Chain A
């Protein structure tokens, strides 16, 4: 069975602080995709990044960076110099690759509060 764990329920930081959101996953599959989504108060899940299990390169996009470590089954997300607009719930998700099915298995999410 697949499982995603986001142990941090809520994180509060002050603007300009760096923050890391943790994601640990479990799967017996050798090929899979990992995702991060952002959910602002409006409710829509906004896609941030997708990572293939064969690609362990870290990625940076502006203030966002992701650290994928297959050895520890972790896919952590760091926001550098956080801003108030980063306040949202962030979800990590896992998907099988060896089928055409689109089912995503989500973690429980981490609520990030960035105060001015």
Chain B
């Protein structure tokens, strides 16, 4: 089983739609979780950290489900500019230095 798995998509949604992605992780000892956004041929940029109680940043909401070992990202009121690849990242060994990324989920928002 891969350490971190994501549905590659693509998710094709109209502007204004709500879309959600999940990311599963294999090691129950994982403690740190993040969502990154990567535009074509660019470096990944941090979108948000994921906290145990869930957290929100504007139109973006991140949740952690430890029992089922997944994190989720919800995007409300999708904009054309949200089109990108969304990567989840997990520290598989507690709070260690190693940060493992999923393969990413492609989102395409269309007008």
Binding between chains A and B = no
B residues near A, CB below 8 A?
none
A residues near B, CB below 8 A?
none
